[in-house]
């Protein structure tokens, strides 16, 4: 089972069905906030919907094709971070992340992404990580920019959400970029 200690306040771990009610409550309580940028929010209407997702995430982890982890801040589930698909042949993955609004501004997600970036390059031996963010989602875009991800371009009208097409900004980081930044 995936379990990673980020620091004294944050741990990342695979969710189990024991977490389904808690995850559903976070999503349901913050539904309006989260659905601004997350297209799947409206499809999670019940605890059973969450249990189904947790089962899928667990199966993907077991088959070594993804990592979808809960973010626990001081023991409380506050969001998620993921490598939704791992391409072993291409030695690459991408990030997904979200955080309950009451926990924003504490540096939680950036610490998680930094930790998992190191994990991807040094434990999984991947070579490339991508982060795609809606052009208008400035908070989400700030994260790859702070971590030194390179802006590769804009995918125009690529992301349909809430009745509108949005441009996506694609960022990437190579293992060599990470090592250069880390050891310079």
pLDDT digits (tens, 9 = 90+) for 10-47: 999 999 999 999 999 999 999 998 888 888 888 999 99
The pLDDT of residue 74 is above 90: yes
Tally of domains within the chain: 1
The pLDDT of residue 6 is above 90: yes
CATH of the domain at 134: 3.40.630.30
CA distance linking residue 33 with residue 117, whole number of Å: 27
Q: What is the distance in angstroms between the CA of the first residue and the CA of the last residue of the chain?
A: 34
Domain limits at 26? 3-182
Q: Are 144 and 131 in contact (CB under 8 A)?
A: yes
Q: What percent of the chain has pLDDT over 70?
A: 99
Q: Residues 111, 115, 120, CA angle at the centre, nearest 5°?
A: 145
**5 burial via Cβ count (<10 Å: 0-12, 13-18, 19+):** exposed
Express each pLDDT in 122-140 by its tens digit: 999 999 999 999 999 898 8
């Amino acid at each position: 089972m995936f379990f990673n200690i980020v620091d004294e306040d944050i741990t990342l771990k695979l969710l189990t069905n024991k977490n389904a009610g808690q995850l559903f409550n976070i999503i349901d309580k913050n539904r309006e906030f989260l659905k601004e940028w997350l297209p799947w929010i409206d499809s999670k209407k019940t605890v059973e919907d969450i249990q189904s997702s947790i089962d899928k995430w667990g199966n993907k982890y077991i088959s070594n094709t993804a990592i979808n982890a809960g973010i626990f801040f001081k023991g409380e589930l506050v969001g998620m971070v993921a490598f939704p698909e791992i391409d072993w042949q291409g030695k690459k993955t991408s990030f997904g992340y979200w955080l309950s609004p009451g926990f924003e501004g504490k540096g939680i997600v950036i610490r998680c992404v930094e930790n998992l970036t190191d994990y991807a390059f040094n434990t999984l031996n991947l070579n490339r990580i991508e982060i795609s963010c809606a052009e208008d989602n400035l908070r989400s875009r700030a994260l790859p920019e702070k971590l030194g991800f390179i802006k590769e371009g804009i995918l125009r009208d690529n992301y349909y959400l809430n009745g509108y097409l949005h441009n996506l900004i694609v960022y990437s980081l190579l293992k060599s970029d990470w090592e250069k930044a880390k050891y310079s």
